Structure 1
């Protein structure tokens, strides 16, 4: 379990994972060594799995994001999963229940690139693609309490 201070530290790190121990200490009202110890314990328990940086794919020419629903053809499940993993433009993929086995997010530079990449998958799966217009809710944690 996490307490209110742990949750405060986690929220502060979610806002900016580069916050210093000193800044986290000021936010939490603890000393920097106490913050360091709490973070170490959260890491050991697997609550904190890493610290990251957010990069805008547009800075590298990826103008479009797409959500792709993927339904492998019979006997092609492992091959489809292997292909998804091998195409670096797929930035996220969940294996799900329901009619489609995979729901993936990908970044592409153009519609032509999207078609080319999906053609690789379409030999062993059916796909349904939606272009992302806007992301009103970015990836976030559910309520901690």
Structure 2
């Protein structure tokens, strides 16, 4: 049992697990912000333009509602709420797209900044010492270096 606890501790303390946990927490908070943006800022003006409609209340009732004094108990398809959730998703997906795009641009710039590495040494196939690329004889073991020694 102690071994399992030790293995779990090693697993949980790895950088990737902690990064993932931070990402999930920030993602949850970001999701709440986007939900508030959609429900409290974007949808009210759209609902006003469309005739003072609250999208959360848009439903397609599946039965005759006259038998239900409390409409919240009547079976219905809440397509207005679905519209809100779809807008949430689209905003989050677009933000993630922009974030990935920026990361890719930064990586591309990082790769451009690194100059190509010029090979100036090769390994001697006999003693495995580093020798200049143009050398014909190893300075360490004095072996003759041929074409096969170019590493």
TM-score (norm 2): 0.18
1 or 2 for the larger relative contact order (CA 8 Å, sep ≥6)?
A: 1
Question: Counting strand residues as a fraction of each chain, which structure ranks higher?
Answer: 1
TM-score (norm 1): 0.18
